[in-house]
Amino acid sequence: MREKSAAARKPKQLQKTPTGIDGLDAITGGGLPTGRPTLVAGSAGSGKTLLASEFIARGATLYGEPGVFMMFEENVEELTDNVRSLGFDLTELIERKLVVLDHVHIERSEIEETGEYDLDGLFIRLSHSIKSIGAKRVVLDTVEALFAGLPNHAILRAELRRLFRWLKDHGMTAIITGEKGEASITRYGLEEYVADCVITLDHRVDEQISTRRLRVVKYRGSSHGTNEYPFLIGEKGISVLPITSLRLDHDAPLARVSTGVPTLDEMLGGKGVFRGASVLVSGSPGTGKSSLAASFVHAACARGERALLFAYEESSRQIIRNMRSIGIDLQPWVDQGLLEIHSSRPTLQGLEQHLVSMHDTINAFRPKVVGVDPISNLTLDALDHSVKPTLMRLIDYLKRENITTFFTTLISSGPAGMAPENSQVGISSLMDAWLLLRNHEQNGERNRTIFVMKSRGMAHSNQVREFVLGKNGVELTDVYLGEDGMFTGSARVAEEARQRAAKQLRTQEHARKLRQLDIKRKALEAQIAALRAEADADAAEIEFSIAQEALREETANEESRTIRGRGLSAPSLCGRPHRQVHDRVFQPEESLRDPSRRTIRHRGDRPA
């Protein structure tokens, strides 16, 4: 019940009819209002008739809705031929009863006013054409020609209201074209008020470069983009590339793709850049930006992916020839259909038209990798404020399509106090990875260096590497950081040789000192052995002395015990005082020398 009540409360959306024109349906949120008139106004050559013709042709071919095209300026043959050059065959659609072309010839000199002017005859003619094929779409081109012979503006305004009301009453999704007025959108200034949707087309020339732009001024009952959008009249009709319809809701894949330079991949976390990322390479002339872009598309083709390269400085043949000099052959990929190179001068068309042309080419080729070399050449004016919004549209579109993009841009020294990396077109903040190439002049030679300015979402190196272009393509080598700064090129080679020699000398000096230390250690060890032997000898002598002393004491003790024993048992001693026993003289040293000479004498005894 709640779901039903919520559905009942949900407001009914305005029904819309898709035009089939790329970008226009996105701007209008689905197409033009169904069953209501839409006014398309613009100056001569802005593309009004072509937009209306494409509306009829695509409605018949894509959506199965028959249409009536009533013209007041061109005849049927002229319109058919003009539209055929853009890929629409109206003759076939007429034969299939899907389109009716009706030319109403109005010549002011042939008009004679005999009564009140009205459009009843037009309504009858238009109604017959609609019924003949069951039309759902109607085009009237142009409304000014219809009222060219009517001087009374009051009647003209009244008939205009009748015309728009008649189309609404018959449920026709209609386009009425009108010429741009001086102070209003149209010449008569009324159509924009009675129309439910108003679209203006503009064809302007700025700095000798023409551009076309489209704007939805009014859309009753529906939200829509109100900005000016560039559009291009190309080989397949009108292409409009909006900006407000491209939101920041694109995917963020985790897959990584190689840049084509293994050492550069190592600087970018070891795996390259994320799939669908936008990579910017900035550098002054001659730093190798184009070579790096060629390596990028070459690696993509080697993976079996389609690649597209937009070049604005060199022709495709020149690029292929130049890249062969560094070991990158792009011709096989062109032959296999994996690579397309589109070269053109920036002055060929306006910035917006370049953008739309790139958009159409990408849609047709469906590449996985796109290179633009360089984006700074898309405009001749370095201070052109339209560059960043235009490139923003391209970047957002490529991200939405999950296309990995490689941009190069030219930088210079810029004004005083400005860092070189700040003097480009100002889109570095839109990029996922930013590589900066620089030239270094030292010791009479110029060398290139590269470092990663930023790389979102991954660990990356903060080291400066030397950028070398050789027969094997692009190579990165470590620069030498010495006491006097950074060395590149031959200075790096010479410094590395000097450091190797110094290291070898230090190694030899260390070995010599180690040998001396070993000799000294052996000498000390010999001295220690001699001292240890001497100490052992002294210890043995001391031990011998201790043993002798112990033996003397033991012998003395034995003799004392012997003497005492004799003194107690001898008769000659029985009658004498006990005191005299202790007056005996004992000569231990002589007894030790000769035990046979041991004698015991008493004081007063005479020898026998």
Handedness of CA 305, 310, 314, 316 (dihedral sign): positive
pLDDT tens figures, 117-163: 667 888 899 999 999 999 999 999 887 777 666 666 677 778 778 88
Secondary structure (DSSP) of 515-550: HHHHHHHHHHHHHHHHHHHHHHHHHHHHHHHHHHHH
pLDDT of residue 574: 42
What's the burial of 574, exposed, middle or buried (CB within 10 Å: 0-12/13-18/19+)? exposed
What's the burial of 316, exposed, middle or buried (CB within 10 Å: 0-12/13-18/19+)? middle
Largest distance between two CA atoms of the chain: 204
In contact, 425 and 375? CB cutoff 8 Å: yes
Three-class secondary structure of residue 485 per DSSP: strand
Residue in this structure with the two tokens 């410094």, named with its chain if needed: 495
In contact, 260 and 330? CB cutoff 8 Å: no
User: Helix count (H) and strand count (E) of the chain?
Assistant: 17, 24
More confident position, 395 or 336: 336
In contact, 382 and 322? CB cutoff 8 Å: no
In contact, 355 and 230? CB cutoff 8 Å: yes
In the predicted structure, residue 583 carries a pLDDT above the cut 70: no
pLDDT tens figures, 72-84: 888 888 888 888 8
In contact, 495 and 487? CB cutoff 8 Å: yes
Tokens of 456: 């979102």
* DSSP collapsed to 3 states, 508-523: HHHHHHHHHHHHHHHH
Three-class secondary structure of residue 431 per DSSP: coil
Three-class secondary structure of residue 278 per DSSP: strand
Three-class secondary structure of residue 267 per DSSP: helix
Q: How far apart are CA 508 and CA 513, in angstroms?
A: 9
Partners of residue 138 on adjacent β-strands = 68, 174
Q: Which helix (H) or strand (E) holds 229?
A: strand 229-234
pLDDT band at 18 (very low <50, low <70, confident <90, very high): very high
Q: How far apart are CA 106 and CA 572, in angstroms?
A: 189
In the predicted structure, residue 437 carries a pLDDT above the cut 50: yes
What percent of the chain lies above the pLDDT cut of 90?
24
Tokens of 501: 């020699």
In the predicted structure, residue 439 carries a pLDDT above the cut 90: no
Average of pLDDT values for 478-482?
63
Q: How far apart are CA 248 and CA 252, in angstroms?
A: 11
Q: How far apart are CA 261 and CA 601, in angstroms?
A: 118
Other CB atoms closer than 10 Å to residue 476's CB: what's the count? Answer: 21
pLDDT tens figures, 516-548: 998 998 899 889 988 988 898 888 889 889 988
pLDDT of residue 192: 67
Tokens of 452: 């990663």
In contact, 248 and 229? CB cutoff 8 Å: no
Highest mean pLDDT among 260-274, 347-361, 556-570: 260-274
- Per-residue burial over 429-449, b if 16 or more Cβ lie within 10 Å, else e, is ebbbbbbbbbbbeeeeeebbb
pTM reported for the whole predicted model: 0.63
What's the burial of 383, exposed, middle or buried (CB within 10 Å: 0-12/13-18/19+)? exposed
More confident position, 370 or 285: 370
Which candidate, 469, 462, 460, 464, places its Cα nearest to that of 480?
Answer: 464
* Cβ-proximal residues to 318 (8 Å cutoff; 6+ apart), any chain: none
More confident position, 428 or 435: 435
pLDDT tens figures, 351-372: 767 777 788 889 889 999 999 9
Average of pLDDT values for 172-190?
77
Q: How far apart are CA 211 and CA 536, in angstroms?
A: 109
End-to-end Cα separation, the chain, in angstroms: 157
Tokens of 481: 């950081």
Q: How far apart are CA 292 and CA 228, in angstroms?
A: 35
Which candidate, 280, 260, 279, 256, places its Cα nearest to that of 269?
Answer: 256
Phi and psi angles of residue 74, each rounded to the nearest 5 degrees, phi first:
-85, 155
pLDDT tens figures, 486-495: 555 566 667 6
More confident position, 307 or 150: 307
pLDDT of residue 598: 45
Domains of the chain are 14-240 (3.40.50.300), 256-478 (3.40.50.300)
What's the burial of 373, exposed, middle or buried (CB within 10 Å: 0-12/13-18/19+)? buried
